């Protein structure tokens, strides 16, 4: 079944990973005698991952999306905080105090929470101040609701 998905190697690897967990459960509860998926190798990853924007690409984006626009705010939050999308969509005015953004990262927050304090650089402050935002999230939809992760 993995080989049938060879044209989508990451999907095939995810499938194998899921089967490993299912068989591990089955072995633990006596529903299977062994885990045959444990011995199925993953496909090797191809490519070089995701393209990172160059400074020229960032400049072009900034020229196309003026200060005060939602896309420009999203870019500024990513550039000047370095946070994951799952944290960016949760950021709001309540996290911004005395020129610092303080937040607990969403990843692993229930096991090993990491709380960060990030300075609000002048470039970011200009964009935040010029952009309409929500009460609890800087980035909101056309319906004034926070974006989902």
The answer to whether 6 and 43 have CB atoms below 8 angstroms apart is: yes
Alpha helices in 1-149 (DSSP H): 9-28, 55-64, 70-81, 85-88, 122-130
115 SS3 class:
strand
Whether pLDDT at 48 is above 90: no
Give the tens place of pLDDT for each residue, 2-41: 999 999 999 999 999 999 999 999 999 999 999 999 999 9
Is the C-alpha dihedral spanning 89, 94, 99, 101 positive or negative?
Answer: negative
Residues ≥6 apart with Cβ < 8 Å to 125: 99
Q: What is the pTM of this model?
A: 0.71
17 SS3 class:
helix
Cα 27 to Cα 33: distance, rounded to the nearest angstrom: 6
Position 23 scores a pLDDT of 97
Give the tens place of pLDDT for each residue, 107-125: 988 899 999 999 999 999 9
Q: List, as one string, the DSSP characters of 63-82.
A: HHS-TTSHHHHHHHHHHHH-
By residue count, the chain amounts to: 149
Using pLDDT thresholds of 50, 70 and 90, give the confidence band for residue 146.
very high
Position 25 scores a pLDDT of 97
Beta-sheet strands, E only, within the chain: 96-97, 100-104, 115-119
DSSP 11: H
Position 20 scores a pLDDT of 97
DSSP 104: E
Position 39 scores a pLDDT of 93
Whether pLDDT at 68 is above 90: yes
Cα 128 to Cα 113: distance, rounded to the nearest angstrom: 26
What is the arithmetic mean of pLDDT over 36-63?
Answer: 92
Give the tens place of pLDDT for each residue, 91-108: 999 999 999 999 999 998
Whether pLDDT at 131 is above 90: yes
């Amino acid at each position: 079944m993995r080989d049938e998905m060879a044209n989508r190697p990451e999907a095939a690897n995810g499938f194998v990973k899921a089967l490993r967990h299912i068989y591990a459960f089955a072995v633990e509860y006596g529903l299977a005698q062994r885990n045959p998926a444990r011995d199925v190798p993953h496909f090797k990853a191809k490519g070089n991952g995701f393209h990172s924007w160059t400074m020229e690409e960032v400049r072009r984006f900034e020229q196309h999306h003026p200060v005060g626009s939602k896309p420009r705010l999203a870019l500024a939050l990513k550039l000047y905080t370095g946070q994951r999308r799952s944290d960016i969509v949760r950021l709001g005015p309540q996290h911004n105090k005395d020129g610092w953004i303080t937040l607990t990262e969403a990843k692993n927050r229930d096991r090993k929470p990491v709380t960060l304090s990030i300075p609000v650089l002048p470039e970011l402050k200009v964009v935040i101040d010029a952009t309409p935002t929500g009460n609890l999230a800087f980035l909101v939809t056309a319906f004034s609701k926070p974006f989902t992760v």
